[in-house]
Structure 1
Amino acid sequence: MKLNLKLSAVALALIIASGGAFAQVKKRPAPASKNKATAARVPAKADVLPVDKQVIIGKLPNGLTYYIRQNTEPKNKADLYLVNKVGSVLETDDQQGLAHFTEHMAFNGTRDFPKNAMVDYLQKSGVKFGADLNAYTSFNETVYQLPIPSDTVKIFENGFKILANWAGYVSFDPAEIDKERGVVLEEERLRGKNAQERLQHQVLPVLLNNSRYALRLPVGKEDILKNFKPETIKGFYHDWYRPDLQAVIAVGDFDPKRVEELIKQNFSQLQNPQAEKPRVKYTVPPTQGTAVKIATDAEFPYTLAQIVVKHPGTVTKTTTDYMQQMRVQLFNRMLNARLDELLQKPKPPFLYGRSNYSSFIGEQDAFTSIAVAKPGELEGALKAVVAETERARKFGFTLTELERAKQDALVQMGNAYRERDKTRSVNFVQEYQQNFLTGEAIPGIEYEYSFYVNNISKITVAEMNAMAGKFISDQNRVVIVEAPDKEKDKLPDEKTLLQWISTAGQNVTAYVDNVSSDPLLSKLPEGTKVTAETKDDAIGTTTLTLGNGVKVILKPTEFRNDQILINGYAFGGISLASDDDFTSANLAASIISNSGIAQFNQGQLDKKLAGKNVSISPYIAEVTQGVSGSSSPADFETAMQLIYLYFTQPRKDKDIWQSQIDQTRSLLANRGLDPVSVFQDTVGAVLSNYNFRSMVTTPARLNAASLDKAYDFYKSRFADASGFTFTLVGNFNVETIKPYLEHYLGGLPSTNSKETFKNQDIHPQPGQVTKIVNKGVGEKSSVQLVFNGQYDYNEANNLQMDALEEVLNIKLIERLREQESGVYAPGVRAGYHKNPSGRYSITVYFGCAPENVDKMINATLEEIAKIKQNGAQPADIQKFVAKEARSTQEQLKENVFWAGYLASSSQNQENPDQILSHVSNLSQVTVQSTKDAANKYLNDKNFIKLILMPEKK
């Protein structure tokens, strides 16, 4: 279950700054993303956006709304959602946290599914708890999601019964409530008890002007969660879980008429309460002038500033709204392209900078600017971000910038349009959810694409140039600074901070758009011809060998209309770098991929590729180097040109080198303040037996690195293409693209060096190891239990390892979460590889209260001992088999699966046809096989305990 805190400014800053925020923000798919910028108005009827004709929208007599759409992606599956206009803002003082607690209780017993029967039933149907079956609670809504098979009548029909049980028949068994208290408190501990949470408590009252939103965070209050009476949560459920505030959304591979019958059968009996409470719409009162909040925390590792200018919120309902939404998207794109260019300077003014106009909270929009600064350089970072907005306000954008932004927007919309018959069901669900919650229009991709094509040319530079002035204001503005405690003495006071902002753009000059008219390649490479061709009819692949030794594995598909995935690899990688040159070599791919190619720097290259649906990046991993990316069929030749140039004309850019070294050094400066980073650094050190190649780099190693060594290492890794194997998966015809492969891939340099990787022998030391890290003031601990050793990599062993992972996952959720109520989200991760040598690791991980660490570890080891003694329970094997069979059937219809699978099969010298027998091979997972696997892989011969505990007081 998830808390969802929809605070764009705060959440974005914390996610960027810390790698994860206290609460998660749901992201909508790009084609459906609608930023708003105009004031609400009453539209003329002809101006109202239409409703997509492919969605059935209805309302039952009791007020419940439903949306139904037939969609075959993925096949034999449906996404069923229950959306409630119910969130934490509706809680009374003694109910704080109970909107979220109610969501939890929906999985702990209903009228037709007592206790944990619902989760158990769905797992046996191939639905994974947490990954598939889930829910979230926010300020204004609570949403339940149920992806379910639609090809089994009973399971599919029961899906609607489950939704109805959530909607009106949750049991609230007092014993189950008491068990769930610990789980909810552990979820709060997992997401909170850290610098981000402590800073939020300082910042939100100012940002949200002490409104209802500031007083009703979904997480609630700990004392209420521990002590509330069952009658209190039942009262909340009775008042607010009612059909006039609910919607059922069903999208998937089914008969819409049958679904409509099922909705009427299951939901018509729901009744609204008598004398129902009015559903109040809460807002955030405007802030007069500018409010400033400077907040610090001992464990926060970054210094950042945010400027949030709040505006009246709007909902896109009319063509006028939609036009303004398009302008806002173009404005955001152009402004942030300028900010990105600043990162290409030798000494970038910030670690991260963004400005964006988008929806906010409490029926508001906001223009938010964020600057994450290097230690001691807040003034320069903040002024640099503000100056770009001022530059746009004073001098506007150039025509070439606007045309590029339009081209990119059309590419994005065109891609969505061309994939309209391959759009996944969940994308439609999220659009309909917003329509129910906010009234946002759902005209459908056909209409949206046509509207874009016919109207984007009407947007003028003058219109764009007026937007910055509309967004910027010193009224209803909040300025926030967050920093480590140790930086407190260096932070500005309120007067100084506002002076920085007001003077930031005084000396700006007009933006100069540096573009190049040169072609990517002036001459077509001569290349080499195909010398061998083999076909594998079983999986539909063709393998070509070119004259220079390059191999190309081709799998044409119809899974996507506008996508070709491209991957290429050869053995070698960082493993071939000497110890002295390792840091330089480790930076090489990142430097080159951000430096442009040939005569184009990265900024010029980005502009050159505007309007093209293509992305290619080189990489250098531990034992391989290569390229990865994608393109549309129309831009395939451009992708081939980029690959050719990354091999033959990589660019050495001193500015990019200096920029990345400077950025990395700044990130390291305060890394030791964050307990999670310190713990993960320790985990990496122990699991690599303190080999510096697998540990976070040091300032000393950075200082010793050089651009020349990085560049030379990159060139050495791509000097010989004869050992490269490329995989292409997607919408193409083999004969049509063969000439491109011969010219570009066949034209790559070849020396037939027959290089391979070097085994650096990086793995944990043998034996039992316990490492305890004492770091952090919050009362929270993290535990990782790692079993590891040598491994015979093959399909049979891999299958048993996957089964063991899932079975142990199931048992630990049952034991640590449901029975002990001591952990929110225990997890098991099994990893295994063949190269550079056969090794495996099985990691059990969870967070808990410090006083419960030993108890939870012992409970984990008890569950492992049961599997070692008795094997897995047949019911748990059934759950694994059902989930694995379902996921395999879905993956076999996905380009991304085949791209990864074909590359992996090639690297590991496996027969790729074995995937076709994977589902039938699931019968090899038995009680005895899981027992054997547990004893083989979960032994304490090589067992590592890694524990993060708070600092000793």
Structure 2
Amino acid sequence: MKATLMLLRKTRGIFVFSLAVAMSTTALTTALAPVAVQAQAVKANPPVAFAQTKSDLTPDPAARFGKLPNGMTYVIYKNATPPGTAAVRLRFDAGSLMETDAQQGLAHFLEHMAFNGSKNVPEGEMVKILERHGLKFGPDTNAYTSFDETVYMLDLPKVDPEIVDTALMLMRETASNLLLDPKAIEAERGVIFGEERARASPGMRAYIAYAKAAFAGQPYPERLPIGQVEVIKTAPAQAFVDFYNDFYRPEYATLVIVGDINPDEIEAKIKAKFGDWQGKPQTKNALTNFGTYAKKGQRVHAYAEPGLPDSLSVSWFKPFDGSVETEASDYDDTLDNIIGAIVNLRLERQSKAPETQFAAASFGNGSVNKTAETYSLSISPKPGQDKAALEQALMTLRQFQAYGVSQTELDRVLTEFATGLDAAAKGEKTRNTGAIAGQIIGTLGDNEVLTSPTQNLAFFNKIKSRLTLEAINARIKALDLGDGPLIARQGSDAAKFDQAAIQATYQTLMAQAVVEPLAIDKKPWPYEQFGTPSKVIKTETLADLGVTQVTYANGLKVNIKPTTFKDNEVLVTIRFAGGLQTIAPGASAPIFEASSAGVFEGGLGKLEAEEIKETLAGKIYGLSYNIGEDSATLSGGTTKDDLTTQMQVLMAFTSDTAFRADAFERLKAFVPNYYTQLQSSPNSVFSVKAPRVIRSGDDRFGIPTQDEFLKTSNDEVKAFTQTLLMKSPVEITFVGSITVEEALKQIDATFATLAPRKPLPVAPKGNVVKFPTTNLHQVFTHKGREDQNLSYIAFPTTDFFASTQTARGLELLSEVMTLRLIEEIREKQGASYGSSASSIASNNFKGFGYIGASATVKPDQDEVFYTSVMAIVDDLKTKGVTEDELLRARKPVLDKYEVTLKTNGFWAGVLPGSSTDPRKLEAVRTRKAELEKVTAADLQKLAQTYLVKEKALRLQAKPEAK
């Protein structure tokens, strides 16, 4: 469960361009003092009404919209991706903006209480019931509270009548039957404080300060979902009851069910389960007031705090527009999205020029929850270049406003829009169930009409003739950005800020003349012919897995898995054997630097990165670079129509990556901000240091220091990456909407032309990683809040292939530990919002593995956490695991596995490397049976064998001394 800061609603209409604001989107805040709200008519929330009842737009015909006599609304949507699953969402039109001064935080707190006892479900049993049905707490069972809504979420791994009935029963319990027992409320206070503590960050505090400057006089800055500490600490049970009765009402509720279901049966169940629900009398607190944005003029705001990255933003505001989506508004929004897309292309292109003093910049618009409409220019200045960065980015925006866009720019964006809409329409029948549920929820709070990809494409084609250069440029000329701007500066060092100088810079810039932008040249794509292909020498079909494996004479190996999981999607992975095993520990190889740089920004020998984007505009392709333990990979996702382009891009970057030095230098401009943020919280400090400590100081893991990164040269990154891409043996994996014949055709035109390659030698000790045996208690420090802390314990185990059966047992043992940690640390002690355990077993380094347990407790509770974990371990060893615990640990894992087997992403993850190591495929075949074979006695024995107190590594990330 989480309090969510819903900063910017999506732009209505078919397209959404970058919503760029220099603010954190992390949830939660510290205590805030109330501010006066402008006088405005105060009224109770209106009942939920679907936008299409007030619009000329036709909703998605696949959706069934309904309303019960009591006012409750529902949406049912049949969708079978993944098959046999469903997503259930219960939304209440109530969030933190509906709270009174005395209620700040209760909307979110009440969300937590939904899991703590109701009329028909005893306290502590709701999550256990769901676990027994295969839903894991967190990934499958969750909820969130934002400014204007609270949403409860269940992802059902199966849709048999029992689990569907259980889900509906629990949602009804949440809707009207919560007990809100004072003792349960008291016990949950610590969990809420733990969530506030875990999520608080410099970025969050910077955003609070920004919101106060931007929206003074409105409740928004004082109604962040986490609320006020004093209210959380002292609110009586009656206050919860009042908010519950005021806003958990049928007329404010919408039930959404999407999945592989029978809509008629589901509708009947909804009517039977919720038809007799009646709201209780409301109090005067049900009256709501969101205030109205008032003009404030041009002004400057600055905020500094250690751990805060440097950034600038220039923002304009208008009163909130909550009007209903219509064809006319969608046309206007489409014009605005085209405008935003083009200005962002210009800013991105400009950021790549050596003389540019911002590392990145973007422009966008959006809605702040029931508070204001906003346009914002967001800027990441290069170190020490605030003034120049502001001048350059703002001048680009002024230039855009003065001269409009070119036909070349418009053609590119229109082509990309059309391509994306066409691809979405072709994949409409196999969209993800959870994504559809999220889309439906999104429409409810924004007065939007739910439309399908096919409808979106048809609308675009209908208005395309009106999307002319004249129309776009007329829109730009008439564009009213609104009140302001508010120029906001934030960073870690207040000494850098000179608000008067920022104001003077802005005013001087606005008085300068604007010159016309340079034209853009589009170059041809030069990577279409690569040579004569090698011949296929072996083909093997693995019928049980639906996989075909092919070997070429040049040593190239290919895995092909045609699927029907998702229409019009093809995932391609190019695997280069080698990875970390070819690097000697202590060699100081630029692994992290190379991974961060990737390969795309350095461009190709014949085209720079921006030229590639321009040349391939309208094509759908991907390029991701990753370095793993036993390989490096280039991967991408595309459609059937653009598979040829995808393969040419992957082949071009394999054979002609340019590694331009200016791209790596641009990356370095982000490094100071990145390392500043890494010091600001226990989690980030832990992520930097723990991976290396857990592996006995092996420098192939973890993150180098900032100085080490900045001293790394482009030539070092180039040499390291070229060795992997241009010398390592290659294996290619295709998954998705593709035939074996089409895959081989693509290979013949690209990778089959490669010269034979020999395996890279394994470095001395390259395939060895050791869990530490000394210095087993280490403490890291961070620069964040004084009450933020992460405590961690790890026990050494073994590698995955030492015994896959043992690995499955250790996986379930860690799941049982998670159940007990949640019950002990979160529920009984109320000491932590997040506590869990996991099992890591290496596929590549023999003998290396571990089970780790962590919790975000207060610094002075580190010893309590350690003692609690050891008590759990002792109990697992002596008393063992109950059958109910084993069921609640195993069923979510098994059911999730059944679901993931029906996704392209799963197979794209497991097939690479399988042609040379068949153990990977055998592990897929045996996973379910091995998990089912594990007994409670097995888990007790594994605990006795591996959870050895004397071998445990104990880590803590606590605040540095002030």
Structure 1 length-normalised TM: 0.92
Q: 1:747 to 1:15 in 2, by over 3 A?
A: farther
Residue pairs, 1:813-832, within 5 angstroms = 813-832=822-841
- Offset at 1:757? 5.7
Asked whether the 8 Å contact 2:362–2:378 carries over to 1, the reply is: yes
For each residue in 1:406-454, what CA deviation from the matched residue of structure 2 results, as whole angstroms up to 9, or x when unmatched? 1211222222211111112222222332333332111322211111133
**Distance of aligned partners of 1:464 and 1:935 in 2 relative to their CA distance in 1, 3 Å threshold:** farther
Residue 871 of structure 1 contacts residue 927 of structure 1 at CA under 8 Å; is this kept in 2?
yes
Q: Of the candidates 654, 665, 668, which is equivalent to residue 661 of structure 1?
A: 668
Number of the residue aligned with 1:51 = 59
Among residues 700, 709, 715, which one is paired with 1:708 in the alignment? 715
Residue 93 of structure 1 deviates from its aligned partner by 2.2
Instruction: Show the counterpart of 1:87.
Output: 95
Is 1:497 equivalent to 2:503 in the alignment? yes
Residue 80 and residue 834 in structure 1: after superposition, are their counterparts in 2 closer, same or farther (change >3 A)? closer
Q: Shift in Å at residue 823 of structure 1? A: 0.9
Aligned AA (1:427): A
Deviation at 1:754, TM superposition (A): 5.7
The answer to whether the Cα contact below 8 Å between 1:514 and 1:604 also exists between their aligned partners in 2 is no
Q: 2:571 aligns with which of 565, 582, 587?
A: 565
Q: Deviations over 1:850-903 (max 9, x none)?
A: 232211221122112211223322111112221122112111110110111112
CA contact (8 A) 1:310 1:476 kept: no
User: Is 1:422 the counterpart of 2:420 in the alignment?
Assistant: no
Tell me if the contact between 2:571 and 2:904 (Cα under 8 Å) persists in the aligned partners. Answer: yes
Please tell me the residue identity of whatever aligns with 1:919.
Answer: K
1:317 aligns with 2:319: no
Change (3 A) 1:933 1:527: same
* 1:55 shift after superposition: 1.5
Offset at 1:317?
Answer: 2.0
Structure 1 residue 585: Cα displacement: 9.0
Q: 1:753 to 1:129 in 2, by over 3 A?
A: closer
Taking the aligned partners of 2:848 and 2:788, their CA distance within structure 1 comes to 32
Secondary structure of 1:615's partner?
coil
Counterpart in the other structure of 2:518:
512
Equivalences for residues 453-532 of structure 1 within 5 A: 453-471=461-479, 473=481, 475-484=483-492, 487-494=493-500, 496-497=502-503, 499-500=505-506, 503=509, 506=512, 509-521=515-527, 523-532=529-538
Residues 158-557 of structure 1: pairs in structure 2 closer than 5 A:
158-192=166-200, 194-274=201-281, 279-280=287-288, 282-310=290-318, 312-315=320-323, 317-346=325-354, 348-471=356-479, 473=481, 475-484=483-492, 487-494=493-500, 496-497=502-503, 499-500=505-506, 503=509, 506=512, 509-521=515-527, 523-557=529-563
Contact 1:383 1:504 in 2 (8 A): no
Aligned to 1:729: 735
CA displacement at 1:676 relative to structure 2:
5.0
The letter for the 2-side match of 1:384 is Q
Structure 1 residue 631: Cα displacement: 1.7
Compute the displacement of 1:463 (Å): 2.9
- Cα distance in 1 between the residues matched to 2:8 and 2:449: 21
Alpha-carbon distance in 1 for matches of 2:307, 2:675: 14
CA-CA distance at 1:682 after TM superposition:
3.4
The question of whether the paired residues in 2 share the 8 Å contact of 1:75 and 1:253 is answered with yes
Is 100-109 or 346-355 further displaced after alignment? 346-355
Report the equivalent of 2:694: 687
Relative to structure 2, which stretch is displaced further, 93-102 or 522-531?
A: 522-531
Deviation at 1:560, TM superposition (A): 1.3
Partners of 1:294 and 1:18 in 2: how far apart?
A: 19
Aligned 8 A contact 2:573 2:908 in 1:
yes
Change (3 A) 1:276 1:416: farther
Deviation at 1:905, TM superposition (A): 4.0
Partner SS state of residue 719, structure 1: helix
Question: How far apart are 1:2 and its partner, in Å?
Answer: 0.9
Structure 2 equivalent of residue 857 of structure 1: 866
Matches of 1:15 and 1:448 in 2, distance apart?
Answer: 31
Q: Is there any run of 5+ residues in structure 2 with no aligned partner, and where?
A: 10-17, 32-50
The answer to whether the 8 A contact 2:530-2:753 is kept is no
Match for residue 882 of structure 1 among 874, 885, 891: 891
Question: 3-state SS of the aligned residue for 2:295?
Answer: coil
Equivalent residue of 1:694, what SS?
coil
CA contact (8 A) 2:796 2:850 kept: yes
Q: Name the CA distance, whole Å, in 2 between partners of 1:667 and 1:892.
A: 36
1:537–1:418 distance in 2 versus 1, CA, 3 Å: same
In 2: Cα distance, 1:538 partner to 1:110 partner: 47
In structure 2, the CA distance between the partners of 1:770 and 1:210, relative to structure 1 (3 Å rule), is farther
Cα 1:505/1:730, change in 2 over 3 Å: farther
Structure 1 residue aligned with 2:613: 606
- Contact 2:359/2:666 (8 A) holds in 1: no
Residue 804 (str. 1) matches residue 810 (str. 2)? no
Summarize the Cα distance change of 1:702–1:806 in structure 2 as closer, same or farther, 3 Å threshold. Answer: closer
Tell me if the contact between 1:644 and 1:748 (Cα under 8 Å) persists in the aligned partners: no
The corresponding residue for 1:6 is 6
Equivalence for 1:924: 933
Unaligned runs of 5+ in 1: 24-42
The 1:502/1:787 distance shift into structure 2, 3 A limit, reads farther
1:32 alignment counterpart: none
- SS of aligned partner of 2:358: coil
Equivalent residue for 1:834? 843
Q: CA deviation at 1:548?
A: 0.8
C-alpha displacement of 1:110: 0.8
CA distance in 1, matches of 2:52, 2:958: 62
Q: Secondary structure of 2:792's match? A: strand
Aligned with residue 66 of structure 1, among 48, 60, 74: 74
Instruction: State the partner residue of 2:46.
Output: none
Contact 2:309–2:673 (Cα < 8 Å) also in 1: no
**SS of equivalent to 1:61:** coil
Following superposition, the deviation at residue 11 of structure 1 comes to 10
Q: Which amino acid aligns with 2:95?
A: G
Alignment of 1:28-39 (within 5 A): none
Structure 2 Cα separation of the partners of residues 326 and 711 of structure 1: 42
Which is worse superposed, 759-768 or 114-123? 759-768
Q: Which amino acid aligns with 1:525?
A: G
Tell me whether 290-299 or 209-218 shows the greater mean CA deviation: 290-299
- How far the C-alpha of 1:533 sits from its partner, in A, is 0.7
User: Cα distance, 1:600 vs. partner?
Assistant: 0.6
Deviations along 1:165-206, one digit per CA (max 9) or x if unpaired, are: 1111101111111111111111111112x3234334433222
Contact 1:292 1:479 in 2 (8 A): yes
| Residues 20 and 377 in structure 2, CA contact (< 8 A), matched pair in contact too | no
Question: Is the 2:566–2:904 Cα contact (8 Å) retained in structure 1?
Answer: yes
Superposed, which structure 2 residues align to 1:111-150 within 5 Å? 111-150=119-158
Q: Which moved more, 1:331-340 or 1:785-794?
A: 785-794
Question: Shift in Å at residue 47 of structure 1?
Answer: 7.4
Match of 1:944 among 932, 942, 953: 953
Deviation digits for residues 780-833 of structure 1, max 9, x if unmatched?
A: 211122223543524212211221121111111111111111111112232111
1:706-739 Cα deviation digits (max 9, x unpaired): 3334333333323336x22111111111123322
Counterpart CA distance in 2 for 1:284 and 1:831 is 52
Residue 766 of structure 1 deviates from its aligned partner by 1.4
Q: Secondary structure at the match of 2:868?
A: helix
Structure 1 residue identity aligned to 2:531: P
Q: Please report the TM-score for the alignment, with normalisation by the length of structure 2.
A: 0.91
Q: Paired residue for 1:37? A: none
Tell me, yes or no, if the aligned pair for 1:581 and 1:705 is still in contact at 8 Å. no
Quote how far apart the aligned CAs of 1:142 are.
0.7
1:153–1:699 distance in 2 versus 1, CA, 3 Å: closer
Residues in 1 aligned to 2:235 and 2:672: alpha-carbon distance in whole angstroms: 49
CA distance in 2, matches of 1:86, 1:108: 20
Distance 1:585 1:473 in 2: 41
Which whole-Å deviations, capped at 9, do the CAs of 1:324-360 have from their partners, x for residues lacking one? 2222222222222222223323465224322111222
Deviation at 1:13? Answer: 5.3
What is the SS of the residue equivalent to 2:483?
A: coil
Matches of 1:413 and 1:867 in 2, distance apart?
A: 54
CA shift for structure 1 position 62? 1.3
Q: Is the 8 A contact 2:23 2:203 kept in 1?
A: no
CA RMSD of aligned residues (A): 3.0
